[in-house]
Structure 1
């Protein structure tokens, strides 16, 4: 299933595994089950800490769970996670195997503190570049909280479910059998939705911040550039954004960025974020500005209000609110969004195979 080069790379990654775990496959007599079995056999052969069994009891076939001895982690892949999802598979193997994730301790503590049973299901396509972010975030939540389960489902292999649930776009996430959200989401965005007290706590923390010298509203390339130029001059700088990177995060190919012949949106956003983090910039994500009050006196403070209820003050405001994907604004577009109206043939096309 895996070529020699990919096996060598994966073997090197699996050397980071510190504790044994089991892959439990649920298979039938179909060709896809045999294909998945070949992939899992290749993976198990690369580390003596991995045990492969074929006695899984999942109703979806082909599928497999990744569990620790005597402990179900709640991480399940329904389908064959290749393409963009191969990275999700590798990270799940490493994290179940004890390798620490590149996630802040604050975020991990928030995951561990979640109460109540949460059964997530994510429908993805192998050609979707936005799906792995969601799959990886929910896998991480399942690994670090026993109350959370997550099944990542290849919509192209389980089209009966896709049709029954009228899923028209990926990633589509269900929580406890009901629609939860659609589209690209970070783990912080997911936690903000399921942790009911998170928004209130964050709003309180934001409102307690001292006034900035320069506050930038928007975290796209323009906002990042403004932050870098402000901070490197020694100006106390903050960036408040719904999502750092903005629309660029969802752009697959970028070919018009000066000095770079070709790159991808997530890669460019990661570089922007790293550049901003080289300076002392306070980046505040998941913050949608709703209005501002101008300073009443010269040299006074401007005040920005946010959807969360938070307020921030600053001597100077820079508005870099960027853009969104253009919609047609025809009757029915909003009502039937993701219920017949789709926006990405590259990502959503596999759902309509045939």
Structure 2
């Protein structure tokens, strides 16, 4: 199961195990059970602190529990945690084995103090880049608090269970048998969701903060670069982000980040956060901005009102709120979101194995999605509004070579159909002949670009009709002392490397603005 390189890496990690652990296996006679048994034996052979026990004590086969010897502390995996989940497996081995987590001590204590019995189940797919964060967060909670349990389930190995629970997107989390959440969630988000007082406490903590000289709103590549450049100037810097990493977290493969031939979004996002933490930056994660109140005087304090009611103040602002997936905005789309309407083919594609799906969008992302899905599903219908596909020629040639793909151009999707529980089809209008057509299918993957996260900035700074923040060559907005960078702005190309450069420009411009403020104005503010 493990190649020589992976074996050596794992062996090096396992020396950090402090307390003996047991791999309690529930196996059958099927091929996947044999693979899991082989994997567990290979892991146990790498450390004298690990033992394999055959128990067959779980209803899901194959599955196994990682248990601290002599205790009930542990986590369970149903399936083989390879692919993106291999890191989750390694962390679980270490944490159950007593190796301390790198999570903030305040957050660790918050988990330990949770009062109640919480049985979590997470359905994941091995190709989902968002699933490991959820799995790892819940595994850690189960290790820290004896009243919390967690089972991570590979949905691809338990299709009947997935069908019964009507799971059409991953990660999907159940708590005590009831739906708890879908999509990417960090440890802080999960804890805040079950700790009713967490939001209020966070708001009170933020209210006590002194004004910043530079406050960055948004934690994607632009925001991270801006925070680093500002902090390096030695000025009081803060960053408030709804989720650190932003849209990068939803990106599978990154192959055009100069000097790095290949990486993945979550990995890059983790590196961004780690880099920011090396500087004196006040990071306020899981904070959604709701309103901007610009200062009326030169050099005055701008105010940002957060969703939790707290207000942050700063002499200069850098707006880097990024963008989100654009929706079709047709009847039925919202009704069937995560019930057949999806936006991440890498995450949710495996759940549609053998089914019929559509991809909406003929750009690079849409065509790449159709190519990937064609290897999993029974049939793909690609629908493009324009008269021709806009993807790179090499991608179009690959798509055209696939026998289970149909391409429809000059088509406008008009409605998503469903039976009340899941998608059953869609309607589109042929723009050449003004006729309506219906396609029967089980899944729709929307890949039609991005929309800037700027609704909260209306009437505060100048926006284009598309909602982009208007900036000049220095990154400054229509308001003095307020700068912007990244995909939320009028920068013509939405690329990670460009966003980082724009964030750096905005931070340098903010610093230049601060040092040129007349002393009397700064004191008056």
Q: Shorter-normalised TM-score: what interval? A: over 0.9
Higher RCO (Cα < 8 Å, 6 or more apart): 1
Cα root mean square deviation, aligned = 1.7
- 1:243 corresponds in structure 2 to 243
Q: Deviations over 1:241-285 (max 9, x none)?
A: 101111012211223434544432223223322332333211111
- 1:153 corresponds in structure 2 to 153
Q: Residues of 2 paired with 1:18 and 1:322: CA distance?
A: 42
Contact kept? 1:74, 1:148, Cα under 8 Å = no
- 2:164 corresponds in structure 1 to 164
CA shift, 1:296, in A, is 4.2
CA shift, 1:136, in A, is 0.8
Contact kept? 2:129, 2:266, Cα under 8 Å = no
CA shift, 1:176, in A, is 1.0
Q: Residues of 2 paired with 1:4 and 1:298: CA distance?
A: 62
CA shift, 1:206, in A, is 0.2
Q: Deviations over 1:176-221 (max 9, x none)?
A: 1111111111111111211111111010000110111121211112
Does the residue aligned with 1:72 lie in a helix, a strand or coil? coil
CA shift, 1:235, in A, is 2.0
- 1:91 corresponds in structure 2 to 91
CA shift, 1:163, in A, is 0.5
55-64 vs 290-299, greater mean Cα deviation: 290-299
Kindly tell me: are residues 2 and 233 of structure 1, through their superposed partners in 2, closer, same or farther at Cα, counting changes over 3 Å?
A: closer
- 1:280 corresponds in structure 2 to 280
- 1:291 corresponds in structure 2 to 291
- 1:36 corresponds in structure 2 to 36
Kindly tell me: are residues 5 and 233 of structure 1, through their superposed partners in 2, closer, same or farther at Cα, counting changes over 3 Å?
A: closer
Contact kept? 1:121, 1:153, Cα under 8 Å = yes
- 2:323 corresponds in structure 1 to 323
Q: Deviations over 1:44-85 (max 9, x none)?
A: 222221121111311111111111223222410001111111
Q: Residues of 2 paired with 1:277 and 1:314: CA distance?
A: 20
- 2:199 corresponds in structure 1 to 199
Kindly tell me: are residues 259 and 4 of structure 1, through their superposed partners in 2, closer, same or farther at Cα, counting changes over 3 Å?
A: closer
Does the residue aligned with 2:219 lie in a helix, a strand or coil? coil
Contact kept? 1:123, 1:172, Cα under 8 Å = yes
Kindly tell me: are residues 160 and 46 of structure 1, through their superposed partners in 2, closer, same or farther at Cα, counting changes over 3 Å?
A: same
CA shift, 1:10, in A, is 1.9
Q: Residues of 2 paired with 1:125 and 1:29: CA distance?
A: 23
TM-score by length of 2: 0.65
- Name stretches of at least 5 consecutive residues in structure 1 with no aligned partner: none
Does the residue aligned with 2:244 lie in a helix, a strand or coil? coil
Q: Residues of 1 paired with 2:52 and 2:77: CA distance?
A: 14
Does the residue aligned with 1:292 lie in a helix, a strand or coil? strand
Over alpha carbons, which structure has the higher Rg?
A: 2
- 2:53 corresponds in structure 1 to 53
Alignment of 1:201-220 (within 5 A): 201-220=201-220
